[in-house]
Amino acid sequence: MQSRHEFLLMLAGCGGFLGGLLHVVALIGGPRWIAAIGAPPWVVQSAQRGTWIAPVGALVITVLMWLCSAYAFSGAGMLRRLPLLRTGLFSIALVCILRGIVLVPLVVYLHLELMAHIGSFEIIASMIWLIIGLFFAFGLHGMPRKHRNPSRPG
């Protein structure tokens, strides 16, 4: 039977994996798909012109998201223990949560100017980032700490 922390980390890992897969699919789909996932205009222009920025950027994002997934799956016990697992999970959770809530102060303090530029994609993406970040955070919180190796001093 799996524990709550394992389940949350599996959800986080699946979210990261699907996010990376989405970037690969958008790259294959071309400039319209790249624009649809909220890429900046200069990235869409790169895809239209066939320059290297769009594909390299999408692949870098994919690798980073899949690395986050690997850490989540490692924390869930599905993969071998990765180096600096707790530190990695904490860092990933922090980045995801900050990305998820960054829209809130911007809307509160710059609401009139910013609201004209925020679409439903940005709001939904922020909510997804926040939820996945919380999965990482609560999954990490529930992870049992490894016992010290009795043969090592300290």
Per-residue pLDDT tens over the stretch 16-75: 999 999 999 999 999 999 999 888 899 999 999 999 999 999 999 999 999 999 999 999
**pTM of this prediction?**
0.84
Residue 3: its H or E element: none
Task: Give the 3-state secondary structure percentages of the chain, helix then strand then coil, rounded to 5.
Answer: 75, 0, 25
Residue 7 confidence (pLDDT) above 50: yes
